[in-house]
């Protein structure tokens, strides 16, 4: 089973750049999109209902902001939207899909760069999410978590760590939270197979950073430790254009 996650930075923009033909060619079993910036009713039918997939959308109360989407070949047993906390759920950042063998979280985590208030909001969102997945793992749930986490974990996860030590996305408290999340029993799947630098998922558009590969790895697939033996591969697709992020994915056995 192939799962792909992609922050499309506007699903309608990505559609104009060939999103639907790319999905038809890539043929993931599950596709998770973040930062869709649209409601389902604003999408053309061939995007809202990609052939061969069931689709689900979570949108923010603020127009043209945030949002996530799930396209899936296998019908989930259950779909939920949000963390169950109104202060976060109004931004349309979470879809939770329950399948036979795992629970999938598709999440667009907040960005903390805009202000101290947004950084505080991001850190509180992190804590609420961690509390929820810890509880689910304690109940024996097998978890797959993907999306734009908006933080590079270690120095090899961005091209210029020294210059960004005081920038949200690489702050000590943000990185420490990922340490705590991993210590709680979750695995960064890409690092199961690749421990080198130079592998990024986001590049600043204004500076032309992608051509020079001056990027950040801020998009992730995590699994609970009990699912790690079923992860057959993890990958980044930097050659796929259409957003300032690129798709990432995993292959799951069974």
Would you please indicate which residues are annotated as catalytic (active-site) residues?
A: 148
Q: Are the beta carbons of 95 and 56 closer than 8 angstroms?
A: yes
Torsion of CA 109, 148, 105, 50, to 10 degrees: 120
* Residue indicated by tokens 């930075």: 9
Angle at 182 between CA 155 and CA 191, to 5 degrees: 55
Measured distance CA(203)–CA(245) in Å, rounded: 7
Measured distance CA(8)–CA(28) in Å, rounded: 16
**Strand-pair partners of 108:** 148
Measured distance CA(165)–CA(162) in Å, rounded: 6
Per-residue CA distances from 12 to 31, 191, 241, 243 (Å): 16, 32, 14, 11
Measured distance CA(149)–CA(125) in Å, rounded: 11
Left, alpha or beta for 127 (phi > 0: left; psi -120 to 50: alpha)?
alpha
Radius of gyration of the chain (CA): 17
């Amino acid at each position: 089973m192939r799962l792909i996650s992609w922050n499309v930075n506007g699903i309608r923009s990505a559609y104009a750049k060939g999103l639907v033909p790319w999905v038809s060619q890539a043929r993931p079993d599950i596709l998770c999109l973040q930062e869709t910036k649209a409601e389902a009713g604003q999408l053309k039918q061939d995007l809202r209902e990609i052939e061969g997939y069931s689709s689900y959308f979570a949108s923010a109360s603020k127009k043209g902001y945030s949002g996530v989407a799930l396209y899936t070949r296998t019908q989930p047993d259950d779909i939920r939207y949000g963390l169950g906390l109104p202060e976060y759920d109004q931004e349309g950042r979470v879809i939770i899909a329950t399948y036979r063998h795992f629970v999938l979280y598709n999440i667009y985590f907040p960005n903390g760069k805009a202000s101290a208030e947004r950084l505080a909001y991001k850190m509180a969102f992190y804590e609420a999410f961690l509390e929820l997945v810890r509880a689910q793992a304690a109940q024996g749930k097998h978890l797959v978590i993907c999306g734009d986490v908006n933080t590079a974990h270690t120095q090899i996860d961005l091209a210029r760590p020294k210059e960004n030590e005081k920038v949200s996305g690489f702050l000590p408290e943000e990185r420490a939270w990922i340490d705590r999340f991993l210590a709680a029993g979750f695995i960064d799947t890409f690092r199961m197979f690749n421990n080198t630098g130079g592998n990024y998922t986001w590049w600043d558009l204004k500076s032309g950073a992608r051509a020079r590969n001056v990027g950040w790895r801020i998009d992730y697939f995590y699994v609970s430790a009990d699912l790690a033996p079923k992860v057959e591969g993890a990958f980044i697709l930097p050659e796929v254009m259409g957003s300032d992020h690129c798709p990432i994915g995993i292959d799951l056995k069974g």
